[in-house]
Each structure stands twice: as structure tokens, then as C-alpha cells.
Amino acid sequence: MMWLFQDLIAIQREIYLAFGERIRAFADSGDWSLLAFHLPMGILFGAVHALTPGHSKAVLAAYLTGSTARVPRALGISLILSTVHVGMSVFIALLSLPLVSVALGSVGRAPLLENLSRGLLGAIGVWMLWQAARGTGHAHRRDTAAGFAAGLIPCPLTLFVMTFAISRGVPEAGVAFAVVMLGGVAFVLAAVAVAAVIFRQSLLQLLASRPSLLDRTTRSIQLVVGIILVVVAANTLVG
């Protein structure tokens, strides 16, 4: 697996360097055609980047495994996560130094937002534990909150691209790249979401003929996912 990770990093580096050259050329000439031709690379860039560790893939998969969301709602959750994840980097970069000085502890990381994200996920985990005990609950608002909370951690590479574009005086180039990059990130997270839902539905179908076991299994999954979210939140906040 290490070689695959190294290959993904190498692909990201090549795309980033190539697009960096296009940003420089666009900053010098103002010719959008120099930029537009290479924008589709952003989709590949986003997909490759989302395949590397992080981006809340495990949290998304765990949450959907323990939820009642079907494929359409799962896709909606993954889209919310992707949009907030990439959009938060654009937001931070455009607000520039005032927010960066508060939110960013080191390049490409946002400890304040990480703590907020994990804290919210921990609260959702507690809610899932409570729901597992009661066996009832309203999921739609919780699903939206989960997608938003998981996406709060900004995408470091989007932040790098935005910062580079702003330093060249062409923030619009960074925003354009972020928009197309979002497509690649959303595609990967959507695939994770669909896989998690299919796994849960397949498991529940196997147990459909045994209602009591099905109920216990459903509650157990919610219990385990709730514990995972609480532990993830506690580990981030304490660590």
C-alpha cells in the first residue's frame, strides 16, 4: 500500500506544479484560455487527493453504516462534506491573515476548526448512543450536521493553491481551481458513501427474517458508531 500512497502523492505534485505554472502565466497575461485548458486537471487532482488518508472518509463510512440513510441521502451527506471541506479552505484564504492567524497553527492545518469539527462529531456520537438506547430518532437534521461537521477541517492542498493564487494577485484562479477540484473530491466521497450504504443494506437484508436480531444488530451498529465518533472527538480534543 505504501507504493500506492507514494504514487498518489507523486501525481498530486505533478498536477500542482503544472497548475502553478498556469497560475503564473495567467497572472502575467490575464488570458483565461491559458488557465481554462488546464482546469480539468483539478478534477483529477481532487480525486487523487481524496484517495489519500484523511478527508473524513472513515468517519463518513462509519456514520453511514450506523445511520438509516439510503443512497440519495448518503450522496447528499457526502456532497455537503465535500463542499464544506473545500469551501472552508477558500473561505480561510480569502479572509486572509485575520482568520489565518486565529485558525491556523501550521501550514495546511487548522487546529481550531479541527477541534470544532471533532467536537460536533462527538456530540453526534452521543446522540447516536442515545438513539441506540431508545431505538427512535429523527435522522435528517443529524445527517446534515454530520456532513457539515466532518467537512469543517479545511483541505490543505486547496489552501495551498488559494494562497499561491492570492500571492500572485489572481485569487479568481484559485477559486476556479477549487471549484473543479471539488468535483473530484465529491466523486470519491460519493463512492465511499454508496459503498457504506450498500454494505449496511446487505447486512440488514441477511437479518430481515429475524426481526429481533435485526433490531439488536441495528442498535449495536449505532452504538459502535457512536462510540467511534465520541472516541475520535475525545482523542482530537485531548491530544
In tens, the pLDDT along 36-89 reads 877 888 888 888 888 877 667 888 888 888 888 889 999 999 999 999 989 988
Which triple of cell numbers denotes residue 132?
441506540
Position 239 confidence tier, pLDDT thresholds 50, 70, 90: low
Compute the C-alpha angle 113/60/206, nearest 5°.
160
Interacting residues of 101 by C-beta distance below 8 A, sequence separation 6+: none
For 147-214, give the DSSP string: HHHHH-SPPHHHHHHHHHHHHTT-HHHHHHHHHHHHHHHHHHHHHHHHHHHHHHHHHHHHTTT-HHHH
Domain boundaries, the chain: 2-238
Let me know how long the chain is. 239
pLDDT digits (tens, 9 = 90+) for 115-151: 666 666 677 767 667 666 665 555 667 778 888 887 8
- Cβ-contact 160, 19 below 8 angstroms: no
Question: Which region holds residue 54: left if phi is over 0, alpha if psi is between -120 and 50, else beta?
Answer: left
User: How far apart, in whole angstroms, are the C-alpha atoms of residue 90 and residue 149?
Assistant: 17
Residue 237 scores a pLDDT above 70: no
Place of cell 484562479: 173
Pairwise pLDDT comparison (114 vs 168), residue with the higher score: 168
User: How far apart, in whole angstroms, are the C-alpha atoms of residue 13 and residue 205?
Assistant: 44
pLDDT digits (tens, 9 = 90+) for 7-34: 767 777 777 777 778 888 888 888 888 7
Which triple of cell numbers denotes residue 100?
489565518
Interacting residues of 112 by C-beta distance below 8 A, sequence separation 6+: 102, 103, 105
Which triple of cell numbers denotes residue 116?
470544532
Place of cell 450522496: 75
- Cβ-contact 69, 198 below 8 angstroms: no
- Cβ-contact 38, 181 below 8 angstroms: no
- Cβ-contact 76, 214 below 8 angstroms: no
- Cβ-contact 163, 104 below 8 angstroms: no
Residue 228 scores a pLDDT above 70: yes
